[in-house]
């Protein structure tokens, strides 16, 4: 009798512990492979590691060094230019397409499918396609010349100051469909009654969009910009394929800088320091966002 | 949503303008794919004579055969086929494992909350956003210690681990919307943890499984960063092989073979997109609006 009771008791204990046991491996994996590894990278960034890891602690020296490297400055400046234009371009195009698609278009489904398919592609594929289209010898330049404008030049891809804009072109092409999907979802969530009332009051359609609809999409704008910023900071594959960071290192981004220092030039500590800088950039954007999102949910 | 167009004549100038603009943008999105397809069936001579949008006069499958079977990639001359199978062998286990674990995690974090489970979830959520550069060096070292460096299982492992945050998030947010009363009633009837999962949660989970599997498949298939850092030579996934094909410094640039290779690398995800686009888009927007 007593043992039966005890086994029931034990079963109850197991029953309450079971959920914890089930998620425990994931929890451990998260703590080790995400947070532990971040600390590990932080540690590497404060050592003298070059080709091989070394455990001589040098504090923040590598960070000061990093910010004196010209190539890092180029990468950061490129990120600002690329990120800014990428976010601006995607948002503008995405919003524009969403508004136009929201006018009771008959072939909306087909159009949406077309606008969104680039998102299913790897950046490597996108890069390959645009590398071909933008190449000065046989790409757009030749096309326009054959059309009769024989002095036309379009060699951004191999020009130091312009290469980063090629990355912008390809990235906007790939990602604006995503923004469109976000805005379209937002537009579908707006109450028709408000708009009808404005129409009854005699407001014109562009005015309704400017004064009522677009302002009410503010939360969507907010999340979109955050996600795009996050994509921009992590951008890696597209640059590697399209320009290989070149000419020289003219179109480097922090992600390609990090790869190059950590994996090809064998400067582990510097690679780790640049990775940490990327991490801080992302966190500076994401943490306030997640905080406000979670709070909004709680009070909603 | 707005009734203006409908109530007037069917095709007034304003409507025509809207359709015109939308179609021009459809062209803009389609053109790179069309250019790729056309280039991939031209001979190099035709490419040199013609231009981006000139139609192929004598279509040939030769670039496709070369890209698949005998193009030079890295040190081998065996085309992209081996790398394509690498990607498939990597994607299948990584997607299945991360999705299943994500489902159970999501179930616990929504229906069996315990003290600290919300903190766990918040930490996981933050983990979705970290730039992976910040874990590359320790992971390279760990894979080396585990004897998984540059192996195919190393990549499966990495993709599974870093996919967990997203899969858990997807399932958790889906299960949160399932009424708690269902679970409570089942518990009163004596059903346990796994029984409730199998009998109540799983049968209603088909849509979220679709979303998660499609999301993970696209993510892992399209990954380049992990592939390029944690694999070499014969174990590389198709994206890395494509980059090697495109960026080799060989004497003659064969754009037609590059394009064929790119389309081959894109086919699986494009196929998934056109067959199950609805779920793909849902994953996309669900991944964006988190919490």
User: What string of DSSP letters covers B221-289?
Assistant: HH--HHHHHH--GGG--HHHHHHHHHT---SS--HHHHHHHHHHHHHHHHHHHHHHHHHHHHHHHHHHS
Question: Which residue has better confidence, A118 or B78?
Answer: A118
Q: What is the mean pLDDT of residues B187-209?
A: 90
Q: Is the pLDDT of residue A298 over 70?
A: no
What is chain B's mean pLDDT, rounded? 87
Gap between the Cα atoms of B247 and A132, Å rounded: 12
Question: Which residue has better confidence, A265 or A297?
Answer: A265
pLDDT by residue (tens digit) across B97-126? Answer: 999 999 999 999 998 988 888 899 889 888
Do residue A181 and residue B284 have CB atoms under 8 angstroms apart? yes
ipTM: 0.87
Residue B151 CA from chain centroid, whole number = 21
Specify the pTM: 0.88
Q: What is the mean pLDDT of residues A57-69?
A: 89
How many CB pairs (< 8 A) connect A and B? 281
Q: A293: distance to nearest CA of chain B, Å?
A: 6
Question: Which residue has better confidence, B238 or B72?
Answer: B238
pLDDT at B283: 78
Among residues B182, B190, B35, which one has the least CA distance to residue B110? B182
Read off the tokens for A105.
Answer: 């278009």
Residues in contact with B182: Cβ distance below 8 Å, sequence separation at least 6, in sequence order? B200
Q: Is the pLDDT of residue A206 over 90?
A: no
Q: Where are the beta strands (DSSP E) in chain B?
A: none
Read off the tokens for B192.
Answer: 């346990």
**Candidates B14, B98, B129, B211, partner chain A, best to mutate (most A CBs within 10 A):** B129
DSSP class of residue A68?
Answer: T
Among residues A288, A236, A281, A233, which one has the least CA distance to residue A262? A236
- Does residue B208 contact residue B176 with C-beta atoms inside 8 Å? no
Question: Which residue has better confidence, A254 or A289?
Answer: A254
The three-class DSSP label of residue B73 is: strand
- Does residue B68 contact residue B80 with C-beta atoms inside 8 Å? yes
Q: B118: distance to nearest CA of chain A, Å?
A: 11
pLDDT at A71: 92
Gap between the Cα atoms of A253 and A82, Å rounded: 9
**Cβ-based neighbour number of residue A49 at 10 Å:** 24
Q: What is the mean pLDDT of residues B82-102?
A: 94
User: Domains along chain B?
Assistant: 4-60 (no CATH), 81-288 (1.10.3720.10)
Among residues B66, B53, B55, B247, which one has the least CA distance to residue A138? B53
Chain B residues in contact with A22 by the CB 8 A cut-off are 104-105, 108, 193
Among residues B180, B197, B170, B173, which one has the least CA distance to residue B104? B197
pLDDT at B55: 84
- Does residue B168 contact residue B176 with C-beta atoms inside 8 Å? no
Burial of A285 from C-beta contacts in 10 A (0-12 / 13-18 / 19+): middle
Gap between the Cα atoms of A99 and B27, Å rounded: 18
Among residues B84, B91, B50, B87, which one has the least CA distance to residue B67? B84
pLDDT at B10: 60
Nearest CA in chain A to B30: A114
Read off the tokens for A293.
Answer: 């999102």
Q: Is the pLDDT of residue B1 over 50?
A: no
pLDDT at B8: 47
pLDDT at B37: 92
pLDDT at A4: 66
pLDDT by residue (tens digit) across A218-256? Answer: 888 888 898 899 889 989 999 999 988 778 888 899 999
Q: Is the pLDDT of residue A28 over 90?
A: yes
pLDDT at B73: 81
DSSP class of residue B254?
Answer: -
Q: What is the mean pLDDT of residues A24-45?
A: 93
pLDDT at A5: 67
Element (H, E) at A205: helix A205-208
Nearest CA in chain B to A226: B288
Q: What is the DSSP string of A215-256?
A: HHTHHHHHHHHHHHHHHHHH--HHHHHHTTT-STTTT--HHH
pLDDT by residue (tens digit) across A157-194? Answer: 877 788 889 999 999 999 999 999 989 988 888 888 88
Read off the tokens for A31.
Answer: 């703590």
Assign residue A139 a region: left if phi > 0, alpha if psi is -120 to 50, beta otherwise? Answer: beta
- Does residue B20 contact residue A106 with C-beta atoms inside 8 Å? no
> Cis ω on the peptide bond leading into residue A247 (within 30° of 0)?
yes
Choose the closest CB to A22 out of B1, B108, B136: B108
Q: What is the mean pLDDT of residues A108-132?
A: 91
Do residue B30 and residue A114 have CB atoms under 8 angstroms apart? yes
User: Domains along chain A?
Assistant: 72-299 (1.10.3720.10)
Gap between the Cα atoms of B128 and A293, Å rounded: 15
Q: What is the mean pLDDT of residues B218-242?
A: 91
pLDDT at B70: 82
Q: What is the mean pLDDT of residues B68-84?
A: 84
Question: Which residue has better confidence, A29 or A138?
Answer: A29
pLDDT at B3: 46
Q: Is the pLDDT of residue B6 over 70?
A: no
Q: What is the mean pLDDT of residues A9-20?
A: 79
Q: Is the pLDDT of residue B7 over 50?
A: no
Q: What percent of chain A has pLDDT over 70?
A: 96
Question: Which residue has better confidence, B13 or A300?
Answer: B13
Which residues, numbered 197 to 226 in chain B, qualify as contacts with chain A under a Cβ-Cβ cut-off of 8 Å?
218, 221-225
Structure confidence at residue B52 as a pLDDT band (50, 70, 90): confident
Read off the tokens for B146.
Answer: 């585990």
- Does residue B108 contact residue A19 with C-beta atoms inside 8 Å? yes
What is chain A's mean pLDDT, rounded? 87
Among residues B268, B276, B271, B267, which one has the least CA distance to residue B206? B276
Gap between the Cα atoms of A21 and A30, Å rounded: 15
Gap between the Cα atoms of B19 and A104, Å rounded: 11
Q: What is the DSSP string of A85-129?
A: HHHHHHHHHHHHHHHHHTTT-TTHHHHHHHHHGGGGS-HHHHHHH
pLDDT by residue (tens digit) across B249-273? Answer: 666 788 889 999 999 999 999 999 9
Question: Which residue has better confidence, A259 or A139?
Answer: A259
Q: A204: distance to nearest CA of chain B, Å?
A: 10
Do residue B1 and residue A271 have CB atoms under 8 angstroms apart? no
pLDDT at A98: 93
Least confident of A92-101, A127-136, A190-199: A190-199
């Amino acid at each position: 009798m007593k043992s039966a009771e005890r086994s029931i008791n034990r079963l109850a204990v197991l029953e309450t512990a079971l959920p914890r046991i089930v998620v425990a491996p994931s929890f451990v994996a998260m703590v080790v492979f995400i947070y532990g590894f971040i600390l590990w990278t932080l540690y590497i960034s404060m050592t003298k590691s070059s080709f091989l890891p070394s455990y001589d602690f040098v504090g923040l020296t590598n960070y000061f060094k990093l910010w004196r490297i010209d190539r890092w400055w180029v990468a950061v400046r490129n990120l600002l230019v690329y990120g800014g234009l990428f976010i601006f371009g995607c948002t503008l195009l995405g919003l524009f397409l969403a508004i136009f698609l929201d006018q009771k278009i008959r072939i909306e489904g087909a159009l949406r499918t077309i606008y969104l398919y680039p998102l299913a592609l790897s950046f490597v594929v996108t890069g390959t396609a645009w590398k071909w289209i933008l190449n000065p010898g046989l790409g757009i330049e030749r096309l326009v010349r054959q059309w009769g404008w024989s002095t036309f030049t379009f060699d951004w891809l191999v020009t130091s100051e312009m290469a980063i804009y090629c990355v912008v072109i390809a990235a906007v092409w790939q990602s604006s469909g995503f923004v469109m999907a976000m805005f379209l979802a937002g537009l579908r969530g707006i109450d028709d009654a408000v708009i009808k009332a404005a129409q009854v009051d005699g407001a014109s359609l562009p005015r309704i969009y400017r004064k009522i609809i677009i302002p009410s999409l503010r939360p969507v704008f907010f999340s979109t910009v955050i996600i795009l910023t996050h994509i921009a900071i992590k951008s890696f594959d597209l640059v590697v394929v399209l320009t290989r960071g070149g000419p020289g290192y003219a179109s480097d981004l922090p992600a390609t800088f990090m790869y190059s220092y950590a994996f090809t030039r064998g400067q582990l500590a510097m690679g780790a320091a640049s990775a940490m800088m990327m991490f801080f950039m992302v966190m500076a954007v994401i943490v306030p966002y997640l905080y406000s999102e979670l709070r909004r949910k709680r009070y909603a | 949503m707005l009734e203006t167009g409908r109530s007037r004549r069917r095709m007034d100038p304003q409507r025509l303008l809207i359709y015109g603009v939308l179609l021009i943008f459809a062209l803009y999105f389609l053109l790179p794919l069309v250019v790729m397809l056309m280039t991939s069936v031209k001979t190099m001579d035709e490419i040199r004579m013609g231009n981006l949008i000139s139609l192929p006069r004598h279509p040939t499958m030769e670039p496709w055969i070369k890209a698949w079977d005998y193009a030079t990639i890295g040190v081998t001359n065996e085309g992209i086929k081996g790398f394509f199978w690498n990607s498939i062998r990597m994607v299948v286990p990584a997607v299945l494992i991360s999705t299943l674990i994500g489902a159970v995690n999501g179930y616990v974090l929504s229906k069996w909350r315990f003290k600290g489970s919300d903190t766990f979830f918040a930490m996981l959520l933050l983990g979705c956003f970290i730039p992976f550069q910040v874990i590359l060096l320790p992971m390279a070292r760990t894979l080396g210690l585990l004897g998984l460096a540059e192996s195919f299982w190393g990549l499966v492992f990495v993709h599974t681990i870093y996919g967990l945050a997203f899969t858990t998030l997807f399932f958790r947010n889906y299960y949160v919307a399932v009424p708690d009363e269902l679970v409570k009633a089942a518990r009163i009837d004596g059903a346990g943890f796994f029984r409730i999962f199998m009998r109540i949660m799983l049968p209603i989970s088909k849509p979220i499984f679709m979303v998660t599997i499609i999301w993970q498949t696209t993510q892992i298939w399209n990954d380049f960063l992990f592939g390029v850092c944690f694999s070499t030579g014969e174990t590389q996934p198709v994206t890395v092989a494509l980059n090697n094909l495109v960026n080799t410094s060989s004497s003659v640039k064969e754009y037609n073979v590059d394009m064929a290779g790119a389309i081959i690398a894109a086919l699986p995800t494009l196929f998934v997109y056109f067959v199950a686009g609805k779920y793909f888009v849902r994953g996309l927007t669900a991944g964006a609006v988190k919490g």
